[in-house]
Amino acid sequence: MRVLNGVHQIKSPGPGSASWPTNVYVIEGGDGHIVVDSGWDSQESLWALQEGMKAAYLKLRDIKEVVITHIHPDHYGLSSKIRQICGAQVAIHRIDADFISLRYKDFSDLIEKTEDLLRQNGVPQDELSQLKEASLWMNRYVTPDPPDVMLEDGDVISNDSFEFEVLWTPGHSPGHICLYEKERRFIITGDHVLYESTPHVGYNPLSGDNPLGDYVSSLKKLERLKVSFILPGHGPVFNALGLRIAKILQHHEDRKRAIMNSLHNGLQTAYAIAQQIPWMVSGGNVAFRDLADWDKRMAVTETLAHLKLLTEEGRVSNVDMDGASLYISKD
Ligand SMILES: [Zn+2]
Ligand SMILES: [Zn+2]
């Protein structure tokens, strides 16, 4: 589907029926097309790309570069297969590129660290094994090859029709990038800014010390941009970036308030706090105990990300007690 002159959006299906589709963008150029995000590594995703390009009268072999906004499987998974088919270069921010092996190849160390982190933060023994391995199935839908190009903030990606500035926007992932087309006034935001949901920002062994603090700074970095169209990694294209950013910031303020309220009951682990705040799945509220394993783990790491930011802001203190990490309000 053509979303702007020379820019096509292809809905790339997720594996199974439950996953939401990834938006793959094809940026036309006489000297080669640029593809932004690849979708999961599956036959269905490859078909979607082939058919989507055919419908736009474009050829797969004319892709010259595949730019990945971040290394989550729904964005990065298929990139290596596209390179094998048409010889395109794959480009990823240096920080996310460094995590490919840790995350998708030699992941036993990461699982161990995730288990330690979850245990420390109050996840009970009988839930640990499911939660620590809750994301492993996704590895089947990724070909974990290193990129050809390591990107940095401020790099330029172009063909003869478009010129994008790489904006490093850590938070959802430490090496997340957005692509800003200044002249045409649009931005491709990956999972950094979505219209229908607030992106997951969690504290985990690869996230850095204060991922939510990073995320908020990265959001504010986009506020100054003059853009008319926002092309996200999932969901509809939209306008009014400033308004959407304000709503996401408000959401995190509300979350922080809910966490502070639950801390009035005294010292608690992130797991105990996560059980007291409401969670949204597919637009509806779901109690923590009814969440699927993967969503439960995201709820705990997301609560932790808020607690790390509140600690940084001096509103919360962290106490270590017999190996358990507990939080207390300073308000
Ligand atoms: Zn993501
Ligand atoms: Zn995504």
Which residues crowd ion ligand 2, with CB under 5 Å?
74, 191, 233
Q: Is the pLDDT of residue 100 over 70?
A: yes
Mean pLDDT of 78-100: 97
pLDDT single digits (tens) 207-252? 999 999 999 999 999 999 999 999 999 999 999 999 999 999 999 9
Buried b (16+ CB within 10 A) or exposed e, 135-174: beebeebbbbbebebbbeeebebebebbebbbbbbbbbbb
pLDDT single digits (tens) 17-76? 657 899 999 999 999 999 999 999 999 999 999 999 999 999 999 999 999 999 999 999
- Distance between CA atoms of residues 320 and 330, nearest Å: 16
The predicted structure's pLDDT at residue 282: 76
d(CA 216, ligand 1 centre) in Å: 16
As to burial, measured by CB atoms within 10 angstroms (0-12 exposed, 13-18 middle, 19+ buried), residue 287 is exposed
- The neighbouring-strand residues paired with 11 are 23
Please say whether the beta carbons of 270 and 303 come within 8 A.
yes
d(CA 40, ligand 2 centre) in Å: 10
d(CA 61, ligand 1 centre) in Å: 27
Give the pair of three-digit tokens for residue 201. 């920002």
Q: Which ligand is nearest to the CA of 72?
A: 1
The predicted structure's pLDDT at residue 19: 72
Q: How far is CA 244 from CA 82, 193, 194, in A?
A: 33, 8, 8
- Distance between CA atoms of residues 76 and 196, nearest Å: 21
Residue 83: closest CA among 12, 134, 144, 151:
144
pTM of the model: 0.96
d(CA 197, ligand 1 centre) in Å: 12
Mind spelling out the 3-state secondary structure of 210-239? CHHHHHHHHHHHHHCCCCCEEEECCCCCEC
DSSP secondary structure string, 247-287?
HHHHHHHHHHHHHHHHHTT-SB-HHHHHTTS-EEETTEEE-
d(CA 143, ligand 2 centre) in Å: 17
Give the pair of three-digit tokens for residue 315. 């509103």
Q: Which ligand is nearest to the CA of 96?
A: 1
Q: Is 66 helix (H, G, I), strand (E, B) or coil?
A: strand
Give the pair of three-digit tokens for residue 159. 């063909």
Mean pLDDT of 271-285: 88
The predicted structure's pLDDT at residue 105: 93
Mean pLDDT of 138-167: 97
d(CA 172, ligand 2 centre) in Å: 9
d(CA 173, ligand 1 centre) in Å: 7
* Distant-in-sequence contacts of 274-280, Cβ < 8 A, 24+ apart: 274/299, 274/300, 274/302, 274/303, 277/303, 280/197
pLDDT single digits (tens) 249-260? 999 999 999 999
Q: Is the pLDDT of residue 331 over 90?
A: no
The predicted structure's pLDDT at residue 135: 87
Q: Is the dihedral of CA 96, 68, 186, 24 positive or negative?
A: negative
Give the confidence band of 8 by pLDDT, cuts at 50, 70, 90: very high
d(CA 76, ligand 2 centre) in Å: 9
d(CA 71, ligand 2 centre) in Å: 9
Q: Which ligand is nearest to the CA of 234?
A: 2
